[in-house]
Amino acid sequence: MSDDLQKQFGQIDIYLFDQLLRGRIVRGMRIFEAGCGFGRNLVYMLREGYEVFGVDADARAIDAVRRLATSLAPALQAENFRVEAIEATSFTEPFADLVISSAVLHFARDGHHFDAMLRGTWRVLKPGGLFFCRLASSIGMEHQVKPIVGRRFLLPDGSERYLVDEAMLVSLTKDLGGQLADPLKTTVVQNQRSMTTWVVRKDT
């Protein structure tokens, strides 16, 4: 990425960038990122005047995002970014037009934790809004991941992750009250891990 593009978009997830290119993320939308980290996906939105909110359990990350927001969008309130667990966020009303969950849900400890994280994220999304999620899956690597317990697996890259599969994501889409906005798209990274993009439109 050139220096100019780097400055404009930061280290945005390439599949989230695809949603921007397709016109699904436009000015005037309220953006909420669950597990926002240090704000790599938010640079463009902050720079372009979107109303942005985020939570992360890491206080250092939220401090960094607040500094980023101060430099790129000084009108935003520091309270838009909160040190909170996703499953227990104080953002409880459906107010966001776009909810981002990027490389977060696969850190769930077990099925109960995964469900709590997912539903804590989903409830913030307005009817008609878009849920963008990237998470680890077993898709395309079913014979290369080793089960630990439940849906937790050991990956060839040595990491442990909570893994979903296609049937689970299709079922969850229906259970949440949504429709797939895109077909599920999965990238297998040199037989080390598999990342799936799950994009859902919340029913009105």
Residue-level pLDDT at 7: 76
Residue-level pLDDT at 2: 61
Residue-level pLDDT at 63: 97
Residue-level pLDDT at 1: 52
The pTM for the full model equals 0.94
Amino acid identity at 8: Q
Residue at 145 is within a domain: no
Question: pLDDT under 70 in the chain at which residues?
Answer: 1-3
- The CATH number given to whatever domain includes residue 86 is 3.40.50.150
Residue at 146 is within a domain: no
CA distance 127 to 106: 25
pLDDT tens profile 116-140: 999 999 999 999 999 999 999 999 9
Residue at 45 is within a domain: yes
Q: Which of 104, 103, 98, 57 is nearest to 81 (CA)?
A: 57
Residue-level pLDDT at 4: 76
Residue at 150 is within a domain: no
Residue-level pLDDT at 118: 98
3-state secondary structure of 23: coil
Residue at 101 is within a domain: yes
User: What is the 3 state secondary structure string of 114-161?
Assistant: HHHHHHHHHCCEEEEEEEEEEEEECCCCCCCCEEEECCEEECCCCCEE
pLDDT tens profile 34-55: 999 999 999 999 999 999 999 9
Residue at 132 is within a domain: yes
Domain of 80 in residue numbering reads as 3-136+164-202
Which residues have CB under 8 Å from 15's CB, separation 6+? 132, 134, 185, 197
Total structural domains in the chain? Answer: 1
